[in-house]
Structure 1
Amino acid sequence: MAEIVEDVQMDSQEIEQETRPEDVFMAPSVHKADDLAGKSYSHFSEIPKMIADDMSKEVVLGVDEAGRGPVLGPMVYALFYLPMELHHSLLADTHHFDDSKVLTPQVRSNLMRKLCTKGTDLYEAGGWATRSLSARDISAHMLSPSVYNLNAQAMDATIDLIKGVLAKGVNVKEIYIDTIGKPEIYQKKLESIWPTIGITVAKKADSLYPVVSAASVCAKVTRDAALDVCYEPYHERAMAAGEAAENANVNVAWGSGYPSDARTSNWLKLNMDPLFGWGSECRFSWGTAKELLEGKKPDVDVDWPVEDDGNDMRMTDFFLGKNDAGGDELVDWFGKRVTQEMEAF
């Protein structure tokens, strides 16, 4: 049975915090061609100099996500890692990382910019990676006969990111992860994969552990920028039609991407194709999209011509020769009677 995700209710303040800023930083983790094509992809930063100079240095790593609930855009998983001795001093004391939902959109964007700017302390000490799961792929998996649900997709994204960092030779000693589902079940699975690494899976980990807060910022800024990329074709279309001013604010059009955001729900209604719905930026497996599609009768008549392909034939009919009128199915084979073959010897 296909899994349908229902609307995530948010208040106006939460919606505002989830709305991307006008000048969101376009991080290198945003692959425009893949976002526009509806493809999922991963991005890994270079190993930071402070770690690359001494690969035996013990490292702490955190994982978090952004965009689990929206009906529009990708879900992005991100990890961040840095030397253990800098975990709190650099991230919490110096740069004041926190859960991305607590930070303003502008602060998130500025922190990500510092992380990607050579010469800054964040760039020299911190490494990071992201896994962007496209709306198209999320829905395809969730609507398939053998359901690959959102929790399973999220867990696999987390595992793949951690494996990618370990494969580079980074000496990870501790991992902190914001949970999906029950923390103890999630943690037990990860410990079975990496028994020698200290792993902590907890609710609100993005508020408890600065390294998870940093991962949260990486995930959120990457998703915000990807949403801008996904909206570009619609913005260009509106510009061509003369429906928007040249300096139109593109983030107003579909808002945060959450179904409970009035801007998002209005955009979905106004931009729904009567036959195909929306593009690869929409999660068709979400309850909001499903209800709109089922409630809208297509204005297009679709005719599926079917030729007579002889589907009423039995499999054994193919064993008869073209001149045979029929016979015992057990003695007919490849168009010749078995008795005829015997007579030839």
Structure 2
Amino acid sequence: MDEGLQAFSENNHRNITIVSKVPDVCRKQPCALGIDEAGRGPVLGPMVYGITYCPESRAEELKAIGCADSKTLTEEQREKLFGKLDSLQDFVGWAVEVISPNSICNNMFKRLKHSLNEVSHDSAIGLIRKALSLEANITSVFVDTVGPPEKYQAKLSALFPGIKITVSKKADSLFPVVSAASICAKVARDKALSTWKFKESPFISLKAESQELKWGSGYPGDPTTKKFLAQNIDGVFGFPQLVRFSWSTSEQILKTKGVTVEWEDTEEQENQAVSVKKFFSNSGKYNSPRRHPYFIDRKLKQATKLI
């Protein structure tokens, strides 16, 4: 995982998927696959989706090594458990998708908004398909729900006929294979956040190289995170890409500390109903490219004619 996360830190504006080797036994025996996420709520850093899979007959062994809901474990415990999971390569496989803050914001700011729930569903579906493409014999899937469990389960069942889908609230505490997935996701998120490399150093107020730059857990209520947001905003360019611009927390700070930009409203003029016949008339209005109001207001004319 470390090598993959190093690649992410170098290009942290893009998503990355990191996969383990598929155990031979997982190609032959019916396998259970668990899905969970980490970092859905924070205003800082990526959201990470994780999967873990193993033969259905050995799923309880994950509970025996201590796999539990990652939120109930300390960071040290999670690190140790991930190390154990990664060492069980004879019967356990895993994968994580690290979804960059940049990707989350771009989806939520689209003209046709792609919600965080939809981003989550896309990631979960993509990871199941990834496991299947690697020829893991997935026969059952257990998912911690995003949105109404019944609708999510119906959606996944339609996409993956022949695989038994179970979508449940608190799945990370009910099914060991989901607990294991939650550990993979949380460890990946923590590492991605702690090793983040800033591309915007000219306007970051503290130097990351000196280890003085602190941003905390990334949750809006964290005092360290609040301080980071208050100190590291540029009036024109906003926050560094570590920050999710689409969160209300960052939007409010941008409103109070950012530079107000007023855009000239030409929408009304452009949206006026125009007969298609006018585009074929002899008048020059529609036969030549429309000039921007900037040039019209300043009475600027084209000095040379392009051929």
**Normalised by the shorter chain, which TM-score bucket?**
0.7 to 0.9
Q: Distance in 1 between matches of 2:70 and 2:237?
A: 34
Q: Distance in 2 between matches of 1:187 and 1:27?
A: 33
Which residue of 33, 46, 49 corresponds with 2:21?
A: 46
What SS class does the counterpart of residue 162 from structure 1 fall into?
helix
Percent identity for Structure 1 against Structure 2: 38
Corresponding residue for residue 100 of structure 1:
70
Residues 1:222 and 1:249: Cα distance change in structure 2 (over 3 Å): farther
User: How do 1:133-144 and structure 2 match up within 5 A?
Assistant: 133-144=99-110
Corresponding residue for residue 190 of structure 1:
156
Asked if 1:74 corresponds to 2:74, the answer is: no
Q: Compute the TM-score of the two structures, normalised by the length of structure 1.
A: 0.72
Q: Distance in 2 between matches of 1:243 and 1:131?
A: 28
Q: Distance in 1 between matches of 2:49 and 2:197?
A: 21
> Which contiguous aligned blocks of 4+ residues in structure 1 show a shift greater than 4 angstroms?
231-238, 241-246, 301-304, 314-322
Residue 166 of structure 1 contacts residue 172 of structure 1 at CA under 8 Å; is this kept in 2?
A: yes
Asked if 1:168 corresponds to 2:134, the answer is: yes
Alpha-carbon distance, 1:190 to partner: 0.8
Tell me how many residue pairs correspond in the alignment: 276
Residue 49 of structure 2 contacts residue 97 of structure 2 at CA under 8 Å; is this kept in 1?
A: yes
Residue 8 of structure 2 contacts residue 15 of structure 2 at CA under 8 Å; is this kept in 1?
A: no
Where structure 2 has 5 or more consecutive residues not aligned to the other structure, the ranges are: 265-274, 285-307
Which residue of 205, 222, 226 corresponds with 1:265?
A: 226
Residue 32 of structure 1 contacts residue 229 of structure 1 at CA under 8 Å; is this kept in 2?
A: no
Corresponding residue for residue 213 of structure 1:
179
What SS class does the counterpart of residue 34 from structure 2 fall into?
strand
What SS class does the counterpart of residue 281 from structure 1 fall into?
coil
Which residue of 68, 76, 83 corresponds with 1:113?
A: 83
- Which one has the largest radius of gyration? 1
Corresponding residue for residue 335 of structure 1:
none
Q: Distance in 1 between matches of 2:225 and 2:283?
A: 63
Alpha-carbon distance, 1:321 to partner: 9.3
Q: Compute the TM-score of the two structures, normalised by the length of structure 2.
A: 0.80
Say which structure, 1 or 2, has more relative contact order (CA 8 Å, 6+ apart): 1
RMSD: 3.0
Residue 27 of structure 1 contacts residue 112 of structure 1 at CA under 8 Å; is this kept in 2?
A: no
Q: Distance in 1 between matches of 2:150 and 2:178?
A: 18
Q: Distance in 2 between matches of 1:105 and 1:38?
A: 25
Residue 36 of structure 1 contacts residue 230 of structure 1 at CA under 8 Å; is this kept in 2?
A: no
**Superposed CA offset, 1:208-235 (max 9, x none):** 0010000001101111111123256689
What SS class does the counterpart of residue 2 from structure 2 fall into?
coil
Alpha-carbon distance, 1:49 to partner: 4.0
Where structure 1 has 5 or more consecutive residues not aligned to the other structure, the ranges are: 1-25, 305-313, 323-345
Q: Distance in 1 between matches of 2:29 and 2:221?
A: 45
Alpha-carbon distance, 1:242 to partner: 8.8
